[in-house]
């Protein structure tokens, strides 16, 4: 294993830390010797936004080179592969054979290990729950050299701690997942425009039974009678079989955009145009799975649009069944601030329990918002939003987070103490030292 020191970031690019990188190409037998206080952290594709995939002053085990497929049982849809395989690579192999990943985040450029360690959710949470529910087994290498096979039946405590375990319980070497049968790569999609967040809840409730996937884009600047207006996208895997898809077209943001690019005027103009792009209230079509699940992946390195200072993503979940006031208050505050960008996603989570001890999804409504980094101005808004999340018994998502307070993390994730016992003694992260040990500064 060779140490390197290239610059590695997380997706939001607000946190600049120095760390040593060890690229892994094979499943390691053991870990290299370290200095006394030096720790390890696995790193997949760095698609987490804040510091949960960073380890200041420590070592990142870069897993992308561990990217071999081990087997695919085509009759049962059981797939085993190394943890550095990316979801797009899995889909390329399995879609033509009639299998899809059971739960997919909004980008396919994440590794299998990363998807497990954040127990990611997708547009089908209301019917499918989280990614971890489909992990049938995995192997975890600990720093003492022991390899543990774990599953819901075998070494189930390490299994529960590792799903959503933020990379702290050891290095996942491979995992076996249950895929979902599909007829082909197409999605029958419907887009419904709604003019207020109350309508969002109504459409969401009406869609739950008949649609496997749903998510909404909202206009974060709209206020008053248009508060939380947006487009509700829902869809099902189509029975259409043919694969006439060509390679996806992508383009790349070559350099940092100027800081002024995303300002309230450009964002407002985008939001108004985007909201009115659909002239009819409802639109139906059949689309390839890529634009349906991964619209942002068409623009590689879109995070550079936020300029050198980077951006934050703030993702929360709050209950809404008995009281919609908290989410409305959050939307009002965000609209009044004028600070959020055009990337804003609203979705309900169902009541299917997540298998990980630190999994984020829980019943409620989740809102994910991107904010250009404007320093203390952005943080002051987050403090206001945090108060509402706290008092309404919601939670923030570690995979997106760069600013959560230690006391908040500990109350949002009450099993964190139990989890701590399973942390590998040689593993740590900047996020963990911030939220569990109260060290370090935010972003």
Ligand X SMILES: Cc1cc2nc3c(=O)[nH]c(=O)nc-3n(C[C@H](O)[C@H](O)[C@H](O)COP(=O)(O)OP(=O)(O)OC[C@H]3O[C@@H](n4cnc5c(N)ncnc54)[C@H](O)[C@@H]3O)c2cc1C
DSSP H or E stretch at residue 431: helix 430-435
- Residue closer to ligand X (CB basis): 152 or 323: 152
**Please, what is the minimum distance in Å from the beta carbon of residue 75 to ligand X?**
28
DSSP H or E stretch at residue 417: helix 416-420
3-state per-residue secondary structure call for 288-306: EHHHHHCHHHHEECHHHHH
Strand-pairing partners, residue 215, are 233
**Please, what is the minimum distance in Å from the beta carbon of residue 120 to ligand X?**
3
**Please, what is the minimum distance in Å from the beta carbon of residue 427 to ligand X?**
8
**Please, what is the minimum distance in Å from the beta carbon of residue 402 to ligand X?**
12
Per-state percent for the chain, helix, strand, coil, to nearest 5: 30, 25, 50
Beta-sheet strands, E only, within 123-185:
135-141, 147-150, 171-178, 180-181
**Pairing between strand 59-62 and 20-23?**
parallel
- The first and second tokens of residue 318, run together, are 């709050």
**Please, what is the minimum distance in Å from the beta carbon of residue 435 to ligand X?**
12
- Residue closer to ligand X (CB basis): 63 or 204: 63
Sign of CA dihedral 360, 363, 368, 373: negative
In the block, residue with structure tokens 């054979």: 97
User: Which residues of this protein are in contact with ligand X, per CB under 6 A?
Assistant: 11, 41-48, 52-53, 63, 83, 105-107, 110-111, 113-115, 117-118, 120-122, 166-167, 171-172, 296, 399
**Please, what is the minimum distance in Å from the beta carbon of residue 295 to ligand X?**
9
**Please, what is the minimum distance in Å from the beta carbon of residue 241 to ligand X?**
27
- Residue closer to ligand X (CB basis): 183 or 250: 250
**Please, what is the minimum distance in Å from the beta carbon of residue 369 to ligand X?**
13
Nearest of 178, 223, 171 to residue 197 by alpha carbon: 223
**Alpha-carbon gap, residue 367 to 140, rounded angstroms:** 32
- Residue closer to ligand X (CB basis): 174 or 200: 174
**Please, what is the minimum distance in Å from the beta carbon of residue 391 to ligand X?**
24
- Residue closer to ligand X (CB basis): 96 or 295: 295
**Alpha-carbon gap, residue 218 to 220, rounded angstroms:** 6
Nearest of 439, 440, 216 to residue 331 by alpha carbon: 216
Q: Are 392 and 335 in contact (CB under 8 A)?
A: no
- Residue closer to ligand X (CB basis): 120 or 334: 120
**Please, what is the minimum distance in Å from the beta carbon of residue 63 to ligand X?**
4
Q: Are 84 and 66 in contact (CB under 8 A)?
A: yes
**Alpha-carbon gap, residue 86 to 89, rounded angstroms:** 5
- Residue closer to ligand X (CB basis): 41 or 330: 41
Tally of CB atoms within 10 A around 2: 8
Residue nearest to ligand X (CB): 167
Sign of CA dihedral 100, 104, 108, 111: negative
- Residue closer to ligand X (CB basis): 195 or 410: 410
**Please, what is the minimum distance in Å from the beta carbon of residue 169 to ligand X?**
7
Tally of CB atoms within 10 A around 57: 15
- Residue closer to ligand X (CB basis): 166 or 388: 166
* Alpha carbon separation from 389 to 31, 237, 320 (Å, rounded): 40, 34, 12
Q: Are 116 and 131 in contact (CB under 8 A)?
A: yes
**Alpha-carbon gap, residue 367 to 374, rounded angstroms:** 20
- Residue closer to ligand X (CB basis): 118 or 220: 118
- Residue closer to ligand X (CB basis): 42 or 355: 42
* Alpha carbon separation from 92 to 45, 97, 389, 393 (Å, rounded): 18, 9, 39, 40
């Amino acid at each position: 294993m060779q140490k390197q020191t290239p610059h590695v970031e997380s997706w939001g690019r607000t946190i600049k830390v120095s760390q040593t990188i060890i690229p892994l190409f094979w499943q390691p037998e053991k870990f290299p010797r370290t200095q006394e206080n030096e720790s390890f952290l696995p790193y997949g594709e760095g698609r987490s936004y804040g510091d949960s995939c960073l380890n200041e002053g420590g070592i990142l085990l870069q897993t992308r080179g561990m990217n071999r497929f081990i087997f695919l049982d085509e009759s049962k849809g059981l797939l085993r592969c190394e943890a550095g395989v990316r979801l797009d690579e899995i889909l390329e192999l399995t879609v033509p054979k009639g299998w899809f990943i059971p739960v997919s985040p909004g980008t396919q450029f994440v590794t299998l290990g990363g998807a497990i360690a954040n127990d990611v959710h997708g547009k089908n949470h209301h019917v499918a729950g989280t990614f971890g529910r489909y992990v049938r087994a995995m192997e975890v290498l600990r720093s003492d050299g022991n390899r543990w096979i774990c599953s819901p039946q075998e070494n189930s405590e390490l299994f529960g701690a590792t799903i959503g375990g933020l990379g702290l319980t050891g290095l996942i070497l491979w995992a076996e997942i249950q895929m979902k049968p599909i007829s082909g790569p197409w999605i029958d999609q419907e887009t419904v425009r709604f003019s207020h967040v109350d309508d969002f809840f109504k459409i969401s409730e009406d869609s739950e039974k008949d649609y496997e996937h749903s998510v909404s884009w909202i206009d974060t600047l709209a206020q008053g009678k248009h508060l939380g207006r947006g487009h509700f996208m829902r869809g099902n895997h189509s029975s259409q079989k043919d694969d006439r898809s060509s390679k996806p077209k992508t383009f790349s943001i070559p350099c940092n955009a100027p800081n002024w690019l995303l300002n309230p005027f450009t964002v407002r103009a985008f939001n108004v145009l985007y909201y009115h792009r659909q002239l009819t209230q409802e639109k139906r079509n059949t689309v390839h799975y890529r634009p349906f699940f991964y619209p942002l992946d068409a623009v590689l390195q879109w995070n550079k649009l936020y300029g050198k200072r980077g951006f934050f993503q703030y993702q929360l979940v709050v209950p809404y069944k008995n009281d919609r006031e908290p989410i409305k208050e959050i939307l009002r505050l965000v609209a009044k601030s004028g600070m959020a960008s055009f990337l804003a996603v609203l979705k309900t989570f169902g009541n299917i329990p997540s298998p990980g001890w630190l999994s984020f999804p829980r019943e409620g409504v989740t809102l994910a918002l991107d904010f250009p980094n404007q320093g203390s101005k952005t943080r002051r808004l987050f403090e206001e939003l945090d108060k509402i999340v706290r008092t309404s018994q919601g939670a923030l998502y570690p995979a997106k987070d760069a600013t959560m307070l230690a006391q908040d993390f500990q109350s949002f994730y009450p099993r964190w103490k139990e989890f701590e016992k399973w942390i590998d003694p040689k593993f740590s992260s900047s996020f963990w030292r911030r939220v569990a040990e109260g060290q370090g500064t935010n972003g």
